[in-house]
Amino acid sequence: MSTALTPVSLVIEVGLLLALVLYFWLTREQRPLSRPRLAALLVALAVPLGAGLALTPHYPMFTLLPFLAVMVHMTLDLETALFLSLLVSGALAALLQGVLNPFYLLIYNTFVGWTAAFTATYFHDRYSIYRIVVIVAAVAGFLAFALWLEQANPVKLATWTVFSALLSGLLVLGVLPLYERFFQVSTDFLLLELSNTNAPLLRELAQRAPGTFTHSLNVAHLAEAAARALGINPLLARVAALYHDIGKLKNPHLFIENQMGSENPHDALPPEESVRILVEHVTEGLKMAQQYGLPREIVGVIQTHHGTSLIRPFFAKALESQGEVKEDAYRYPGPRPRNKLEALIMLADSVEAAIRSLKNPTLYEIRTLTHQVLEGKWNEGQLDDTDLTRKDLGLIEEAFLQALKGIFHPRIEYPEVGQA
């Protein structure tokens, strides 16, 4: 049996390759492919292609398309998993058309891959993979019996369909942690683990910096709501917000939210020393993120959540005590946010801190201050390196306001008796 390329199959393969490139080019803004993510994608594509070329000519019902579908869904999204399942199924059908019925092979691989992609939506813990295996094996078995029952022994059909589903599931369980570690890909599986408040860093934050922990929970609530409005992964936004201030663990008592009414050490420090301490929580956060192997997206959020903002209280204190000072010395070093996720966390962090400074805020005060903070960041140019639009800013503001109502329970101002 030969799998040599014929002119027809060569044309099909080139067309499928062009379709792959065109797909990621047209969706580059929604699905930016970093080098690690591209490497992870190529590995996921190579496994079913290689296994298919080696074994499918002998056992048509053998397929590792479920591995590809689940991995792509976990590392990118459902739409891409469905598209790539169809693409690889087409590639295998074209390559093996001289050996097997290409139409049967296309139908079988496509629907098995799509089944795995859809069921991966419910992949929330390690045990979920077994449910996926059972469903995929059932669909693969039905299709195999419908397509090849006259050509193969029923026991052989059942054995290879179950084996394919089981092997794909085991490969996912084995490879996914390596993806997360070496390619630093933030799968929903990893994000769910990181969002657990018993995760080491979050548990330490709750114990040693309870004010920062509460602030991070509130920021996560805001970020998650705004991410849904913008079509960004809300789980990623939530987790990034939970970890954005982990650098404060080095000196938690030097941050006002952890002082609980006690004396503020910054009152006795020169402003330049206070600025150094505040800037240090970003650099320390980056060190901790690297130490704990946090995903690249979260590292980026930690690095940019203050951008190049001016640290106004200590800049004002320096002006008062020293007369003339360089403004740049009282700014965070940056960089500024580079994408919508990073911008979202910056805005949520700034808004939460501003609203928290109000005592018993009214809904009007919350709305006014939220608008002022967002406009301030926009006018300062802190969002210039992102593709955030004015429309996006409006969606973020509305999402923040709805979330803030639940966090701060603003009182409503009633007119006094006798007033019209």
323 — alpha (psi -120 to 50), left (phi > 0) or beta? left
Mean predicted lDDT score pLDDT of the chain = 87
> What are 282-314's pLDDT values in tens digits?
999 999 999 988 988 999 999 999 999 999 999
Q: What average pLDDT does range 338-348 have in this prediction? A: 96
> What are 115-126's pLDDT values in tens digits?
999 998 877 677
Q: Is the pLDDT of residue 144 over 90?
A: no
Residue 312, C-beta contacts closer than 8 angstroms, at least 6 positions apart: none
Please indicate, yes or no, whether the overall pTM of this predicted structure exceeds 0.75: yes
What CA–CA distances, in Å, run from 174 to 49, 134, 167, 178, 280? 19, 18, 10, 7, 38
Alpha carbon distance 17, 20 (integer Å): 5
Alpha carbon distance 165, 141 (integer Å): 10
Position 9 scores a pLDDT of: 61
Alpha carbon distance 352, 215 (integer Å): 7
Q: Is the pLDDT of residue 348 over 60?
A: yes
Alpha carbon distance 199, 205 (integer Å): 10
Can you read off the two tokens belonging to residue 273? 């020393």
Q: Which domains occur in the chain, in start order?
A: 7-182 (no CATH), 188-408 (1.10.3210)
Can you read off the two tokens belonging to residue 416? 């006094």
Position 14 scores a pLDDT of: 74
Helix axes 65-75, 128-148, angle to 10 degrees: 140
Position 7 scores a pLDDT of: 67
* DSSP string covering 184-239: ----HHHHHHHHSTTSHHHHHHHHH-HHHHHHHHHHHHHHHHHHHHHTS-HHHHHH
- Which residues on neighbouring strands pair with residue 362, listed in sequence order? 411
Q: Is the pLDDT of residue 227 over 50?
A: yes
Q: Is 413 exposed, middle or buried (0-12, 13-18, 19+ CB in 10 A)?
A: exposed
Position 13 scores a pLDDT of: 67
What whole-number percentage of the chain has pLDDT above 70?
91
Separation of CA 271 from chain center: 37
Per-residue b or e along 261-290, where b marks 16 or more CB atoms closer than 10 Å to that residue's CB: eeeeebeebebeebbebbbebbebbbebbe
What CA–CA distances, in Å, run from 139 to 55, 61, 91, 160? 20, 11, 21, 13
Band of residue 420 on the pLDDT scale cut at 50, 70, 90? very low
Q: What is the DSSP letter of 256?
A: G
Band of residue 323 on the pLDDT scale cut at 50, 70, 90? confident
What whole-number percentage of the chain has pLDDT above 90?
48
Q: What average pLDDT does range 207-226 have in this prediction? A: 96
Q: What average pLDDT does range 267-276 have in this prediction? A: 90
Q: What average pLDDT does range 36-60 have in this prediction? A: 84
Can you read off the two tokens belonging to residue 294? 């946090």
Position 236 scores a pLDDT of: 93
Q: Largest alpha-carbon pair distance within the chain?
A: 95
Alpha carbon distance 168, 408 (integer Å): 47
Q: Which of 420, 332, 346, 416 is nearest to 383 (CA)?
A: 346
* DSSP string covering 376-412: HHHHHTTTTTS---HHHHHHHHHHHHHHHHHHH-PBP
Q: Is the pLDDT of residue 176 over 70?
A: yes
Alpha carbon distance 298, 413 (integer Å): 40
Mean pLDDT lowest among 86-95, 154-163, 212-221:
154-163
Alpha carbon distance 383, 374 (integer Å): 10
Q: What is the DSSP letter of 331?
A: B
Q: Which residue has the higher pLDDT, 153 or 248?
A: 248
Can you read off the two tokens belonging to residue 111? 């629907």
Q: Which residue has the higher pLDDT, 96 or 253?
A: 253
> What are 353-381's pLDDT values in tens digits?
999 989 888 999 999 999 999 999 999 99
Band of residue 340 on the pLDDT scale cut at 50, 70, 90? very high
What CA–CA distances, in Å, run from 196 to 113, 217, 246, 292? 31, 12, 15, 15
Position 4 scores a pLDDT of: 53
Torsion of CA 222, 223, 225, 230, to 10 degrees: 140
Position 206 scores a pLDDT of: 96
Q: Is the pLDDT of residue 389 over 80?
A: yes
Alpha carbon distance 293, 184 (integer Å): 8
Mean pLDDT lowest among 92-96, 270-274, 312-316:
92-96
Position 213 scores a pLDDT of: 96
Return the SS3 of 310: strand
Position 1 scores a pLDDT of: 46
Q: Is the pLDDT of residue 170 over 80?
A: yes
Q: Which of 154, 222, 224 is nearest to 191 (CA)?
A: 224
Question: How many beta carbons lie within 10 A of that of residue 75, not counting itself?
Answer: 23
Alpha carbon distance 403, 107 (integer Å): 46
Q: Is the pLDDT of residue 173 over 70?
A: yes
Position 39 scores a pLDDT of: 81
Question: How many beta carbons lie within 10 A of that of residue 56, not counting itself?
Answer: 24
Q: Is the pLDDT of residue 32 over 80?
A: no
